[in-house]
Structure formats: structure tokens, C-alpha cells
Structure 1
Amino acid sequence: MTSPPSAIAAFWREFSDAEASLKALPLRERVEAANAVIERHLTGLALEMSGDADDVLLDLIVTAHGGIENFPLLMQMVAAAPPLPGYRVRAFRERTTQPDFPIGMDGFELATSDVLIACGQDDGQAALEIRFGREIPEDYRDHACNMAFIMLDHVLGEYDFAVKVGAVDFVENASDPRTPWTPLSEFAQVFDRYWIDTLGRTSNFPDGEHDWSGMTLSFGGQDGDGGAEDMAIVMINRSANPVAMRADLTYALTLDLAVGNRDELAAVQNLQDQAATLLELPQLGIMAYTMTRAGRRQAVYYVGDVPLAQQALAPLLLRDEAGSLELTTRFDPAWAGYFEFAAHCP
């Protein structure tokens, strides 16, 4: 099977070679032809073009249609794009600039002004409740729900809808009667204010001393499992919340080290704290939480560029106290690992 970097390179070569012939096509046919090219090389991604056929510069948009599992591939593809005269390559379908619009499906039409949204909280994400501001025939109820999802993607943008929004429920009445209903055509600004004012996501890196909270968790030791109770101490960096889910902090980088005794614990904690400083000063990443369990201490940092972060940490990772290091990364744009604990930490 072709590796993602090889497949990406092969796509851009074929697209560049076909560029002149593509430009001779009407815009709709050009998009179809471009997608035929990408389908030969990459799965889960598609291309869209924004602009008029006679524009000097078109936006070439790479989308995963909201599939978070394909976001890393999408971002690799955009980062690898060669210079393309006449195109500006962009990641993710952006928000529409005209949020008051209708769409039709199988003879049924629905406008964004007909879709009412109430915004709440789902751990670290925003929870949305949806009801319709007009009568929906029962035969078209499923159509209306599907259309509302499509509209949300266009109004909020692909990345924000996929990453920042958690539970979405269709209801008759809001679970909190104090929550106002907002037409989807006006919802983007309400969502942004909620993200900043209520959830505290200013996107600004914290200054000074960070605010940490701790809790003790119990694993095992339950009825019938036959094992001893396994205790863990989790420390949550509350000061990381303002930058949670930033599009340039999507990878959880974990430094996992053995702590067999108190001296080793102190040395490992010092090393992990120094790693936080090396990442946070140039704003390459931030330490979000730690867990001490079963003779090991994990420190989890959210970073955007994993190779660059590892390069910054390289001198630390060569030290003697890093001999037991297990270094792992995972794509976690919604910071699920962080909010799994932060939502329940006092």
C-alpha cells in the first residue's frame, strides 16, 4: 500500500501536470476532474473550488467532509502543496460569508433562518440543541435533520463543527429554559461569543504561574475483578483551557517515565517541567495534565508540529533520567484526553 506521503506527492504531481487542461474546463467540470485525480491517490479527502471560473486566483479547498480521522492526512496534503499559479490551497471548508441561505433536498426546502439553535456545554465542547422554527411535515423530518447538519457545517466551518461541537440533539424545548434560541443564519457570532465568554477559549497562551488542580482516581479493585486497587494521581493545568482545541495544538505528546522511588519522581517531574518550559516559551505547545500511576509518571503536552516539538525537547530526552522514556503521540484536536479529567477535577 502506498504510504500517505508518497500518495500525496503522487497526487500533486498529477494535479500539476493536468493544471493547464483543468483550467480549460468550466468550473463545475474542473472540480469533478480534480476529484477524479484525488480519488486515484487518497481516500477520505475531496477538493472544492471557490470563486468564479474567470478569476485570476481560485481557492482550492481540501476537505474531509468533517471526518476527523482524515484531518491529519488533510493537513499533510495542504502542507505539501507545491506553488500552483492560479490557486490558493486551503485546509478545510471555511465558514460561508452569507449564512442566510436555503437548501433543497428531494423537493423539500429549508432555510438557515428556519433552524433555531440553543448552545450549551458538553464537557469541553459546545453542545447544540436544535428545533425548527416552522412546521416540518413528518415525511420530511429526517430530511430536515440532515439538512440542518449540512447547514451547520457551512455556517460554522468544517473544522469548528467537527472539533468544537460535541452533542447535537433535536428537541422541542431547550433543556435549560433560560437558553435563548438563535436562528442558524445568525448563530456563528453567538457561537464565537460562547466559546470565548462562557468556555474561556481566548486562544491566548497563559502568562505567569499556571493554575493546577488535582484528584485521585481508582482503577481496578471492583467486584469480581480479583485485582488490587490501582491508584492514580492526576494533575490538570486549568491555565491550558484558553488554548484548548486551537487548530495548531492538535496532537497530544506524552512523555511517560518510570518513577520507582521519591528521588526518581522528583527528577522526572523536574524533567517534565523543563520540557513544558521549552515548549511554552516559543508557544510550540503546552503541558495540559500529568498522571502518576503504577510506578510511572505521564506528562501530556498539546502541540501542533510534532517533529518540531521533539526537536525542541531533544536535549532533555538524552539525559540519564530519560532512560525509561516512552514517547507517544496521538491526534486529539478536541483535547478529549484533557477534558476527560478536567470536567471532573475539583
Structure 2
Amino acid sequence: MTAPSPEITAFWRDFSDAQASLQAQPLRERVEAANALIERHLSGLALEMSGDDDDVVVDLIVTAHGLTENFPLLMQVVAAAPALQHYRVRAFRERTTQPDFPIGMEGFELATSEVLVALEQDGGQAALEIRFDRDIPGDYADHARNMAFIMLDHVLGEYDFAVKVGAVDFLDEPGDPQAQWIGLHQLPPVFDRYWIETLGRTSDFPGSEQDWAVMTLAFGGQGDQEGDGHDGAGVPEDIAIVSINRSANAVAMRADLTYALTLDLAMGNRDESAAVQALHDQAATLLELPQLGIMAYTMTRAGRRKAVYYVGDEQLAKQALAPLLLRDEAESLALSITYDPAWSGYFEFAAH
């Protein structure tokens, strides 16, 4: 793990020093004081506390309010947390243990049981269709939609709602007559089953025998899927060949596989192409055996071949690959890492 930033270090130092004064306050005031501390050092994050005024130890929840661009910072803050006498530090707002609840907004009240949800597929994510099982006064239509979003965050949890859910559409009447509608308070177990049984996200790493498919892409559009296997040399300049690891779908969007690490290498003649492909495959082995990451897809285009791996800890992944990347065939290497918790790069191709 990389060392925490000076801002993170300063925040935890101030928080640790303030523990005694925080404990002397009621929980609501304690939360306000804690948020004043984090705002002094870090933007885009907030703190929540779960417990009662007289609890000796409460959960300290670091939240980014569902903004995925702030999730890496959130994880760094949690990883750097010191041992605290009165707090258990948690990442992300978790699912509520009582999903059947009402909330009110400006004189209007809505219960989760009055919000109906149907699940569909949206690329690699789950799409939600929502309608209300009661009359909503016209003046409160926007309030009702905002309340439904707040409810979803509490019912599914911050991470799952932000990462695993794609489109959210509000309907006046059911669209698909085959859709299965349930109350929002019933969603968590149904969502989890859909994630595993319909989308195939078992979270289990595949074995050594993995299912690959190949498609060709023209610069102006997408070709038909051609078969199974890895790409080779001799690709025309106006064509890209993409090999997709279908088996990687099982671990897609796991919370510990959120970074897309790309190894981009030049390849010339057929011998050089074979050497680059071998290096990419060896990198996959080094990452997959200890389950540090998985090769998701490769793309050959304009004399270069890039392989994309989803990893959890970018520093551990780089360390695992370091000896391999010192080889002569890695001389042209361009290495990049991007935060992609929804695996959007993978599903750009795998969803087709």
C-alpha cells in the first residue's frame, strides 16, 4: 500500500486528538464536529456515526455520498485509519438492516413499501424501473423521485447503488408485462439473486480454463463476433481485434477489483507478436494465481497490443509484475491504471 497523503495523515491526527472532546457530546453534535474536522483537510467525503449516545464504541462511516470519483480517496482514508478507542472505521454507507421504512420531505411522506421496483440488465449493470404504488400529488412528483433515490442508497448500500446499478427510470405505468415488480423494501435479496443468477456474478475466480471470445472492430463501427481464441499478428491498420475473457464476468465489479491496469506493447512481425502475447499471458498468471487480479480483455490495433487486467491493489499488482516488465520484449511498454469499479472498459465489449 502507498503511504497516505499529508492531508489524510493530518485528518487522522486531528481526529485522534479530538476523541475525548467528541465523546463528551451527544451523537448528533459529535457527527457535526467530526465533519468539521474532515472538511478542514479533505473535500468530497463526509462522516456518519451509527450507534447511541451512551455507546462506548460506535461505527464511524466514511461516505462519498455515492460519487464514485471520490471512492479511491475514501478507501485511502479508511486504509490509513489508526486504532481508535471509541470508533470502528467503516467504508461506505452500508445497507440498512430494516429496509421497510418511511421518510418525509417538506410535509410529504413516502414508505419504501410504496415504491415498486423491477430489474433489467443495463450493459454490465442492473437497471431499475421504478413506479409508485400510490397517488403522488403533482407538486410532490420531484420530491418523490428524490426520496426514492435516497431510499435506494439506504436499501442497497452506497457502493452497490453507485457501482452495480446503471439506469434508473421512473414509470407511470408498467411497461413490460413480464416484469416482476416488488416493493423496494423487498429489493436486497432479490437484487443479490439477480446479480448472481441472472448476471452470473458469483464473485468466484475462474480456473485456468477460461472462456475467450474474439470480435473485430472497424474504426467506423463494430464487426461481428468471430469465434474463440486470442488475437494474432497481421491486423490491418483500420481494424482492431478484441479478445474478451467471458469468464472474468464472474468477478466483475467486485469491490476488491476496481482498478483497470493496462499493459500496452508494440508488436511488429509475427515473432514479436508471439512474444508480446506470451508476456501478457504470463502477467495474467502472475496476477491470477494469488488472485490479485484477472485479465479481462486484449486489443490489437495499429501495431500495438494492450491487455487490460482488473486489480484491487495497484501497488501489489505492479510489484508482482515488476520482474516480468524488465524483459526486453517490454521495452515499448506503456503502463496505465484507471479507477473503473463498474468495469465499463470491459463491458464496452463484453455486453455485446
TM-score normalised according to structure 2 size: 0.94
Residue 4 to residue 283, structure 1, CA distance change in 2 (3 Å): closer
Structure 2: how far apart are the matches of 1:16 and 1:57? Answer: 14
Q: Which amino acid aligns with 1:283?
A: Q
Provide the secondary structure at the position in 2 that maps to 1:167: strand
Q: Which residue of 2 aligns with 1:96?
A: 96
Residues 64 and 71 in structure 1, CA contact (< 8 A), matched pair in contact too: yes
Provide the secondary structure at the position in 1 that maps to 2:11: helix
Q: Which residue of 2 aligns with 1:225?
A: none
How much does 1:198 deviate?
Answer: 0.2
Q: Which residue of 2 aligns with 1:286?
A: 294
Residues 122 and 166 in structure 2, CA contact (< 8 A), matched pair in contact too: yes
Residues 4 and 73 in structure 1, CA contact (< 8 A), matched pair in contact too: no
How much does 1:145 deviate?
Answer: 0.1
Q: Which residue of 1 aligns with 2:173?
A: 173
Unpaired runs of 5+ residues, structure 2, are 222-235
How much does 1:172 deviate?
Answer: 2.3
Pick one of 256, 269, 285 that aligns with 1:261. 269
Provide the secondary structure at the position in 2 that maps to 1:40: helix
Deviation per residue, 1:283-321 (Å, 9 max, x gap) = 000000000001000000000000000000111001110
Deviation per residue, 1:93-121 (Å, 9 max, x gap) = 00000000000000000000000000000
Deviation per residue, 1:242-269 (Å, 9 max, x gap) = 1000000000000000011111110000
Residues 237 and 302 in structure 2, CA contact (< 8 A), matched pair in contact too: no
Residues 220 and 229 in structure 1, CA contact (< 8 A), matched pair in contact too: no
Taking the TM superposition and a 5 Å limit, the aligned residue runs for 1:155-304 are: 155-220=155-220, 230-304=238-312
Structure 1: how far apart are the matches of 2:106 and 2:172? Answer: 24
Structure 2: how far apart are the matches of 1:97 and 1:311? Answer: 40
Deviation per residue, 1:125-146 (Å, 9 max, x gap) = 0000000000000000000000
Structure 2: how far apart are the matches of 1:95 and 1:50? Answer: 12
TM-score normalised according to structure 1 size: 0.95
Residues 12 and 81 in structure 2, CA contact (< 8 A), matched pair in contact too: yes
Provide the secondary structure at the position in 1 that maps to 2:41: coil
Structure 1: how far apart are the matches of 2:321 and 2:51? Answer: 43
Q: Which residue of 2 aligns with 1:343?
A: 351
Structure 2: how far apart are the matches of 1:276 and 1:4? Answer: 28
Greater displacement, 106-115 / 211-220:
211-220
Residue 200 to residue 258, structure 1, CA distance change in 2 (3 Å): same
Q: Which amino acid aligns with 1:248?
A: D
Matched, 1:331 2:339: yes
Matched, 1:124 2:124: yes
Provide the secondary structure at the position in 1 that maps to 2:121: strand
Deviation per residue, 1:192-226 (Å, 9 max, x gap) = 000000000000001131000010001159xxxxx
Deviation per residue, 1:162-198 (Å, 9 max, x gap) = 0000000001234422111110011111100000000
Structure 2: how far apart are the matches of 1:175 and 1:298? Answer: 42
Q: Which residue of 2 aligns with 1:306?
A: 314
Structure 2: how far apart are the matches of 1:177 and 1:256? Answer: 47
Structure 1: how far apart are the matches of 2:138 and 2:294? Answer: 49
Structure 1: how far apart are the matches of 2:81 and 2:287? Answer: 27
Q: Which amino acid aligns with 2:108?
A: F
Structure 2: how far apart are the matches of 1:251 and 1:306? Answer: 7
Structure 2: how far apart are the matches of 1:196 and 1:220? Answer: 35
Structure 2: how far apart are the matches of 1:55 and 1:280? Answer: 43
Count of matched residue pairs? 336
Q: Which residue of 2 aligns with 1:319?
A: 327
Unpaired runs of 5+ residues, structure 1, are 222-227
Percent identity over the alignment? 78
Structure 2: how far apart are the matches of 1:172 and 1:275? Answer: 51
Provide the secondary structure at the position in 1 that maps to 2:28: helix
Provide the secondary structure at the position in 1 that maps to 2:70: helix
Structure 2: how far apart are the matches of 1:153 and 1:85? Answer: 29
Q: Which amino acid aligns with 2:215?
A: M
Matched, 1:86 2:86: yes
Residues 212 and 244 in structure 2, CA contact (< 8 A), matched pair in contact too: yes
Structure 2: how far apart are the matches of 1:175 and 1:137? Answer: 22
Structure 2: how far apart are the matches of 1:261 and 1:334? Answer: 36
Residues 118 and 174 in structure 1, CA contact (< 8 A), matched pair in contact too: no
Structure 2: how far apart are the matches of 1:76 and 1:264? Answer: 39
Q: Which amino acid aligns with 2:253?
A: M
Residue 236 to residue 175, structure 1, CA distance change in 2 (3 Å): farther
Q: Which amino acid aligns with 1:275?
A: A
Matched, 1:139 2:147: no
